[in-house]
Amino acid sequence: MSEKNQQVQSAIKIEAIKSITSVDHRFATEDHEIDLKAIRSTNISLGDIGSSLTDYQKQFILKRLNFDNIINLSELPPSAIFMIEKISNLTVPESIEIIKEALAEHDDDVNFPTEDYEFMEKLVAYSQDRDVSSLHSPDSKEQWTEKTERVDETSSKGSKDMEDKYEFFEIHDFNLQVRLEAALLAYHSPYPEVRAVTDPYDDPSIPCETLRVYIVSIIWTCIGTFINQFFSERQPSISLSSAVVQLFLYPSGKLMELILPKYTIKLGKWHIELNPGPWNHKEQMLATIFYSVSNGVSYVSYNLHAQLLPQWYDNGNWIDFGYQVLLILSTNFLGISFAGIIRRFAIFPTRSIWPTILPTIALNKALLQAEVKENISGWRISRYRWFFYVFAGSFFYNWIPTYLFGAFSYFNWPTWIAPNNVKLVAITGTASGLGLNPLPSFDWNIINTNACLIFPFYAQINQYLGSCLAFLVIVALWFTNFKWTGYIPINSSSLFDHFGNRYSVQSIVDENSLFDQAKYDEVGPPYYSAANLVLYGAFISLYPFSIVYEGFMNRRPIWNALKGLARNFKNLKGSVYDGFHDPHTVMMKKYKEVPDWVFLCVLVISTTLAILCVKLYPAQTPVWGVFFAIGINFVFLIPLTAIYAATGFSFGLNVLVQLIVGFALPGNGLALMLIKAFGYNINGQAQNYISDQKMGFYVKVPPRAMFRCQMLSVFISSFVGLAVLNFQIKSIPNYCSPTNTQKFTCPNSTVFYNASILWGVIGPKKVFGGLYPVLQWCFLIGFLLAFPCIAFKFYAPKKYTKYFQPTLIIGGFLYYAPYNLSFYTMGVYFSIFFMWYLKSRYSAWWQKYNYLLSSGLDSGVAFSAIIIFFAVQYKEVYLSWWGNDVMWKGIEGLGGQGRLNATTAPGGFFGLRPSEYP
């Protein structure tokens, strides 16, 4: 290269590095920005940056950032360049202050790595024991210890020697290490999971809300909504997740880049560029968010199933398209209106990491952001290739458990020994038992039921511990025939009459679908299976427990967010970001936020639609029910969302709403279902909207662009979902029957329908008063249980309490009816290996490949399952042989069986006598 070219390249490098602005104020958005195009236009080496740092110190930083596996240090990634520059410019006193703030904020944060926290405590203690006044400048050097000097002499051998010489979390160069840890907190994230998928900087000049985003998003939202609604009532279900749809959004965006003309449309002050250059990661993320907010099935689909199906309420004579539209739009948009309130509790705080969205961001990064070549434990494969290799393997393998060898899916091998042994099937069965089986499945669709490569390891273990405890309780109830559970299949989600047959709501309601006492006196009350009884007991106790426990444990962030909300209502021109200093929130201050009054308008409009729905149609629902659903979400939404944001575990308000409505409106199953839909969907849709908002935060998508896309997405998907639902009900034979050969057994709608019978038509007063009085004590049990758990958290040694999460343990009790241990056991094995062992021992590998592994496996399963269904299962091209038949032999294939026979009971039936009916 000529001298002139070298000078030009040197000038380009200098200008690129200067784009990493430093304004000496970490709360200023400019302090977190770079010119990404300039950085990537030239190769920046380790020697070009961090002038105040030695080469050894820079290598040390690369190791801490998991960039020490880069093959060529003359081509550093933008994240490494940015972080080294920031570390170089931080001062020691400022760094100590940042770390002190973090230690106070994350004192009881279960997701904050223990090793990191303890090391930061060491750094603070070290600074207090020594005079650090000489270290106020980033150019200051502290004398290295004798041990460090020996390491420095061999630094040319690279970071491998660094790893061999001493433990990483020991103080060897205080000046460097205190600034390094502070920079992670102030410019990136304290959580390895978040650092693995996000960038510590933003480039506001990158186009985001473009016309091509809307084109591809609308198309794929329609397709995805069709598939997700169609397969939602299949067990196991099939869905096109956000991570999967990114595979289609990416080539679609690239196609738009090729075919759209480079032309600017001028509409007054707005200029719309049809093709603003290469399809980029912000456009990809906005398109993904457009799809993601509506990729889940609307909760009101369960209402419509229960009301339209002839074997259930059969209300098709008055439920028209207008009713369906009012119901789905009002419930969906009520949830979005609440998102404006809870964003302060679930987006802006650092603790709100939202583990469920991380694989989607990881795939976005793999598809659209350039990466440097690395050698991680011998692995040189790029993120992009790794994803597609996993995807291809998953796609082809899924044909085995899904079609060719079904026993690999429901690997209920213990039942093959004696398929007609009632007790054996009840304990070990996958389809109708409790699933006690050390190797229950080789089907990723089942293994990943609880997102084993996504949820934190502690969350997985706490929930599984709860499910094991629930297993013991269920077995005890069944074998002791508590409340006649021995006459009923042990793990069914259905309701049964006193002959052991499935309960029909039409046998106890009149022509208006209201409770008919005369019919009820003939039929009697319905009965729960042992697993369903435990499930409801856990649900009832979980509400008071979570309010007390989570409210107390998160009292400081909740109180701060409430004060911020009050400030904004007093000063409508104030910023919703006030009081939040998370680096990602600081970066988002560059973009205009959505004012609170906009969400208030959405609330008013959607409430109006809800009132029209209950007034214009014979839904048997009072208007106050709508306002009740809104009010109960104000109380519960904050703690529920806080749990979801930190752990990935979520539960809705459906059970609590149905209990309260059942007391207020006894004998009215229709009102219960409708108010329950409002109560639950507000919660579910708000959390869905908020999780997508957090995804946009991590990638720096403007909030107003997200809002516009999400509103349009929900509107479109609502109509597509209704069209698919009505088509299924009219066109699929034997739909929602336990014997449906295409697996459309409708497990979710069945639970919803049965709940409306027991808690709506019959009512909790009868249930608590005479049928299952023990359930009413679960409220008190949950409330009282919170206090010893709080005391244990506060006073027991932290090493025992940090990963103790009682809310998740109780949540593990909810794994049953109709699911069971076999859907979660294999996932625990995967969690142990990937989320604990690899994450702690091979963090660089885990950081680069883990979330892409999860996305690739999910994508392969989804793609192949859809093709398999339409190619061979929809037309019932069944491959009959032992490997596809053995798991359905005997009792498993019949949906389970009670331990006792109702015909041998006194009087020829079990349960309460007619004179005892509540």
Residue 147 has pLDDT above 70, yes or no: no
- Reference 786, options 647, 644, 639; nearest CA is 639
- Is 891 within the bounds of a domain? yes
- Is 816 within the bounds of a domain? no
Highest mean pLDDT among 15-19, 210-214, 562-566, 682-686: 210-214
pLDDT in tens, 308-340: 887 777 777 788 888 888 888 888 888 888 877
Averaged pLDDT, 739-764:
75
pLDDT in tens, 45-79: 787 788 888 888 888 888 888 887 888 777 788 88
Q: Are residues 782 and 891 in the same domain?
A: no
> Three-class SS of residue 895?
coil
- Is 242 within the bounds of a domain? yes
Q: Are residues 279 and 409 in the same domain?
A: no
Q: Are residues 51 and 146 in the same domain?
A: yes
- Domain count of the chain? 3
Residue 425 has pLDDT above 70, yes or no: yes
Residue 293 has pLDDT above 80, yes or no: no
Residue 302 has pLDDT above 50, yes or no: yes
Q: Are residues 177 and 245 in the same domain?
A: no
* Confidence category of residue 161, pLDDT binned at 50, 70, 90: very low
Q: Are residues 48 and 161 in the same domain?
A: yes
Task: Determine if the peptide bond prior to 236 is cis (ω within 30°).
Answer: yes
Q: Are residues 856 and 872 in the same domain?
A: yes
Averaged pLDDT, 281-305:
82
Averaged pLDDT, 806-816:
90
Averaged pLDDT, 605-631:
85
Which residue type does 2 have? S
The domain of 65 spans 3-188
- Is 806 within the bounds of a domain? no
What lies within 8 Å, CB to CB, of 184 at 6+ separation is 64, 83, 190, 195
The pLDDT value given to residue 818: 81
Residue 741 has pLDDT above 90, yes or no: no
* Confidence category of residue 142, pLDDT binned at 50, 70, 90: very low
Q: Are residues 760 and 855 in the same domain?
A: no
The pLDDT value given to residue 155: 37
Measured in residues, the chain has a length of 918
The pLDDT value given to residue 825: 94
The pLDDT value given to residue 560: 64
Residue 573 burial by Cβ neighbours in a 10 Å radius (0-12, 13-18, 19+): exposed
Residue 144 has pLDDT above 50, yes or no: no
The pLDDT value given to residue 463: 92
- The token pair that represents 33 in the structure block: 């920005």
Residue 747 burial by Cβ neighbours in a 10 Å radius (0-12, 13-18, 19+): buried
Q: What average pLDDT does the structure give for the chain?
A: 81
Query: Helices in 526-668 by DSSP H: which ranges?
Result: 530-553, 555-570, 583-588, 596-616, 624-647, 654-664
pLDDT in tens, 876-911: 677 889 998 898 888 988 878 888 988 888 888 888
Q: Are residues 793 and 879 in the same domain?
A: no
Residue 181 has pLDDT above 80, yes or no: yes
Reported pTM: 0.82
The pLDDT value given to residue 279: 87
Give me the percent of the chain exceeding a pLDDT of 90: 15
The pLDDT value given to residue 567: 62
- Is 302 within the bounds of a domain? yes
Q: Please identify, among 133, 153, 188, the residue that sits at the C-terminal boundary of a domain.
A: 188
Residue 786 has pLDDT above 60, yes or no: yes
The pLDDT value given to residue 399: 92
Which residue type does 538 have? A
Q: What angle do CA 29, 32, 35 make, to 5 degrees?
A: 110
pLDDT in tens, 451-504: 888 888 888 999 999 999 999 999 999 999 999 999 999 998 888 888 888 887
- The token pair that represents 404 in the structure block: 């060719």
pLDDT in tens, 82-94: 888 888 888 899 8
Distance in angstroms between the alpha carbons of the first and the last residue of the chain: 93
- Is 195 within the bounds of a domain? no
The pLDDT value given to residue 23: 61
Residue 722 has pLDDT above 60, yes or no: yes
- Is 813 within the bounds of a domain? no
Q: Are residues 402 and 329 in the same domain?
A: no
The pLDDT value given to residue 236: 64
Q: Are residues 501 and 531 in the same domain?
A: no
Residue 160 has pLDDT above 60, yes or no: no
Q: Please identify, among 763, 798, 833, the residue that sits at the C-terminal boundary of a domain.
A: 798
Instruction: Specify the range with the lowest mean pLDDT, choosing from 196-200, 639-643, 764-768.
Output: 639-643
Q: Are residues 171 and 226 in the same domain?
A: no
- Positive or negative, the CA dihedral 561, 564, 568, 573 is negative
Residue 831 has pLDDT above 70, yes or no: yes
The pLDDT value given to residue 70: 83
The pLDDT value given to residue 431: 86
Q: Are residues 532 and 505 in the same domain?
A: no
The pLDDT value given to residue 469: 95
- Is 862 within the bounds of a domain? yes
